[in-house]
């Protein structure tokens, strides 16, 4: 998978920046600011005993959170597939629709955390 190349990473980070907005509906100036808000909201919603007991794996909790359509992220499988193919080029075509959502959320999760290190 080519998802570690700098150009792919930059596309994913730009997507995070484009999709996350403030309470007032304003966009953030940097992807890092957007990632911080995304992570804060994710933790606010899912860091409770019920969520943790149902989904002890943090990546599974993140995917479940993202399936609730926070902010302006893609929710339809075909839209997620388009983004994956846009990010990964020809490598994105090998993923089935079942794996597209997993890949989409995993890449966003990875870059969110990388931005906040």
Higher local confidence (pLDDT), 101 or 114: 114
103 is in which domain, residue-wise?
6-115
Does residue 108 form part of some domain? Answer: yes
pLDDT in tens, 6-41: 999 999 999 999 999 988 888 899 999 999 999 999
Is the pLDDT assigned to residue 1 strictly greater than 70?
A: no
Among residues 88, 33, 98, 65, which one has the least CA distance to residue 73?
A: 65
Q: What percentage of residues in the chain have a pLDDT greater than 70?
A: 92
Does residue 1 form part of some domain? Answer: no
Domain count across the chain: 1
Does residue 12 form part of some domain? Answer: yes
Reading phi first (left if > 0) and then psi (alpha if -120 to 50, else beta), residue 75 is in alpha
Which pLDDT belongs to residue 98?
A: 67
pLDDT in tens, 87-105: 888 666 777 776 888 889 9
Q: pTM here? A: 0.89
In degrees and rounded to multiples of 5, residue 66 shows phi and psi of: -65, -30
Is the pLDDT assigned to residue 3 strictly greater than 70?
A: no
Does residue 65 form part of some domain? Answer: yes
> By mean pLDDT, which of 40-44, 73-77, 105-109, 112-116 is the weakest?
73-77
């Amino acid at each position: 998978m080519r998802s570690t190349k700098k150009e792919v990473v930059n596309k994913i980070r730009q997507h995070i920046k484009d999709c996350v907005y403030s309470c007032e509906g304003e966009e953030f100036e940097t992807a890092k600011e957007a990632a911080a808000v995304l992570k804060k909201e994710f933790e606010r919603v899912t860091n409770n005993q019920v969520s943790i007991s149902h989904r002890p794996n943090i990546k599974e909790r993140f995917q479940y959170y993202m399936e609730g359509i926070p902010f302006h992220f893609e929710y339809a499988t075909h839209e997620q597939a388009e983004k994956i193919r846009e990010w990964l080029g020809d490598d994105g075509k090998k993923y089935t629709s079942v794996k597209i959502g997993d890949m989409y959320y995993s890449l966003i999760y990875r870059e969110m955390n990388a931005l906040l290190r």
